[in-house]
Homo-oligomer: A and B are copies of this chain.
């Protein structure tokens, strides 16, 4: 298994200025796995769901090459549910409902077939759960990446720093980088964060692109300039999944490959924003992605 992704598989109910959904499929691991599927034939997913989760959706993930041996189904359990409403500017949102359900006691188990994975993406979950996955690996992956959020910095900063110490690539947004480091300047924040352990750091800036700090240099990646953003939910996870899928397909993590991976992640994230939920990720082809990557490259051609 080249890539294993860990994170939520969940229900979302989303309201944006462009519309409103009932419960639809979401979750970090879902978006990560789908985004990565454009670059690698197979990945392994570690998560937990309840019996309420539609098996047809699991089938559709499997068809995309996402192995769900690591997806635990809790008998009689209910899947994690999040509901949020985006403000008019789409850059901020209010959480309306968070029902942890089966996530509350999630005890991740790494299937034997996932052992030896080369790339591991620890999606946003409690640092303890992220650490438990690392504990179970018999060989260390070539690259371990981690996503997190300010919530964990508020309630579990020490646990978070402990797991960050064990990873190679941290992917967080600018606000989170500032909170984690206590530094306003992103350069200063990056220095402090990389002192915590990771050799590489990607600071996401939403519609403004991302800063990619690699041990060999700094890359300022532009974002696609979209005409319409319908629903940004999952864009960050899609970005991370695209990066990890691309890296896993290349098998290396040098600066040049990481840059290309970030462009791929940006392209994928832009598709996710174009519709609600995971819809666009089931519609697009590898060719659509390549066209968009070319468009991004054109944006920064001097």
Q: Is A53 an interface residue (CB 8 A)?
A: no
Contact with B along A179-221 (1 / 0, CB 8 A): 0000011111000000000000000010111010000011110
Q: Is A165 an interface residue (CB 8 A)?
A: no
C-alpha gap A264/B79 in the complex (Å): 53
B-chain residues with CB within 8 Å of residue A209 when the two chains form the complex: 208, 220, 222
Q: Given A220-B209, A298-B217, is A185 in contact with B89 using a C-beta cutoff of 8 Å?
A: no
B-chain residues with CB within 8 Å of residue A187 when the two chains form the complex: 225-227
Residues of A near any B CB (own CB < 8 A): 88-90, 184-188, 205, 207-209, 211, 217-220, 222, 225-229, 256, 259-260, 263, 297-302
Asked whether A259 lies within 8 Å of B302 as measured between CB atoms, the reply is yes
C-alpha gap A131/B300 in the complex (Å): 34
CB distance from A139 to the nearest CB of B (A): 32
Closest B residue, CB atoms, query A227: B187
C-alpha gap A302/B207 in the complex (Å): 19
Given A185-B226, A222-B300, 18 more contacts at CB 8 Å? A88-B184, A90-B184, A185-B229, A187-B226, A187-B227, A188-B227, A205-B208, A209-B220, A218-B225, A218-B299, A219-B302, A220-B225, A220-B299, A222-B222, A256-B302, A260-B302, A263-B302, A300-B300
C-alpha gap A85/B228 in the complex (Å): 35
Closest B residue, CB atoms, query A225: B187
Can you list 19 residue pairs at the A/B interface with Cβ under 8 Å?
A: A89-B184, A185-B226, A185-B229, A186-B225, A187-B225, A205-B208, A208-B208, A208-B209, A209-B220, A217-B298, A218-B225, A219-B302, A220-B222, A220-B300, A222-B300, A260-B302, A263-B302, A297-B302, A300-B300
Closest B residue, CB atoms, query A296: B220
